[in-house]
Amino acid sequence: MRLQSFISSAATLVVGAVSVYASSLHASSEFRSQIQNDTSLRYVANSGICETTPGVTQYSGYIDVGTNMSMWFWFFEARNSPETAPFTLWLNGGPGCSSMIGLFQEHGPCSVNADGNSTHLNPYSWNNVSNMIYIDQPIGTGFSYGTDTVNSTEAASPYVWKAFQILFESKLFSKYASREFIFATESYGGHYGPAFVTYFEEQNALIAKGAIQGEPIVVSAMMINNGWYDPLIQNRAFYTFASNAPGYGQLQPDDVLKNISAALYGPNGCVAQQQNCYAAGNSTDSDKICSQADDYCGNNVYVPAVGNRDPYDLRQNSSGLFPPEYYTTYLTNPEVMSTIGAESAYQECSSDANGLFVNTGDDARTWLPQLSELANSRLKILIWAGDADINCNWIGGYNSVLAMDWYGNETLHNTPLGNITLNGKPIAAVANIDNFTFARVFEAGHFVPAFQPAAALEIFTQVINKEPLHSV
């Protein structure tokens, strides 16, 4: 989920003290890092919540990444071949939105029933083929709690890196340090993905030189669906998409489109302000310049482009009910919270965490150069998008990757999107260029796996197998 201020969204190892959360059946354990100061790993093993497949291990709890900084995680072992399956991190966006959205509404082991008090197994869960970890970051998001100092994408990177240092140093997760590491994210993940993976690689280089101690985090593939990569390009795409969303037609009347165009290209309009933001770089004035640009573009371009539609699924109105929010009721159940080890009230999307990013204009900054560099490094990358999403629509995503400065730029421009099928039905239009793939997923909104669970699992499986996307 990508939020903006102008629109509302929607016990294996024991080191140190051991306590019991709610039930004597589920003891919590603690591991204290010997390298990272003021850090620890506190968890409940096999709570019996959500993943009820026999023999499949799960852990939930907190990674303390600093003093009064407790980052929530939930890990699920792969249902099949967990000893060899890759290790996948999932992060939702916002910024400030919980990864429990991905867990319960998109591709986790279970979904919550309409009663808000029970679950059923998800046959299309991504832990069919991968060990999965979901993390709530920055602090204040989801079940995470404590002091939040993160006010930008760049500032968020070190804490996620530190979280994996603590995880991989522990006996509980050390075996996953050498696995294929998949970085999967969505929405504001268009910022998080390029930034975090770049930071991981920079830290790997320092570790290799002996400049710092730590576990290398070698990302083998990165997946970003409906990402927010380059605001200048993607704000322009709001007009294009509202004028004619491929497969759905014109979304807004002519007079609204005229106003959007004027807001984009008029004096001191969205495009001019975005360009000023880019030119400001990281100067002392950049926070104000970028924040103002983001606010203007949001109110005068994005909001009218959405109109009374659901920004995450143009086929619904603004009261869109899919995917349902039953899981939020479930996660406020005191018994569920105690059993999984949650120590704070659940916040699906934290306005406080989001506000810190708003104040620095982080949303208006581009991470396309870093994405380009990662593509140039031949990292396995999938940029995909549900074609019914307005918020981070596929036209804006496609135009962003077409603008990347990398060796495959010309080839991508000359490669038309071609359909792939699942059991004979078209599921996506794709372009594969070496290790890079762009995909438009048909009849899916912002949360692709919620709308097309079978297609999403097949695409995920092909990516972790390092295959170009293809028909099955």
Residues carrying an active site annotation:
187, 389, 446
What is the Cβ-side half-sphere exposure of residue 325, based on CA atoms within 13 angstroms?
A: 12
Please give the Cα distance from 9 to 5 (Å, whole number): 10
Please give the Cα distance from 303 to 8 (Å, whole number): 11
For the chain, the straight-line distance linking the first and the last C-alpha, in angstroms and rounded, comes to 29
Please give the Cα distance from 448 to 63 (Å, whole number): 28
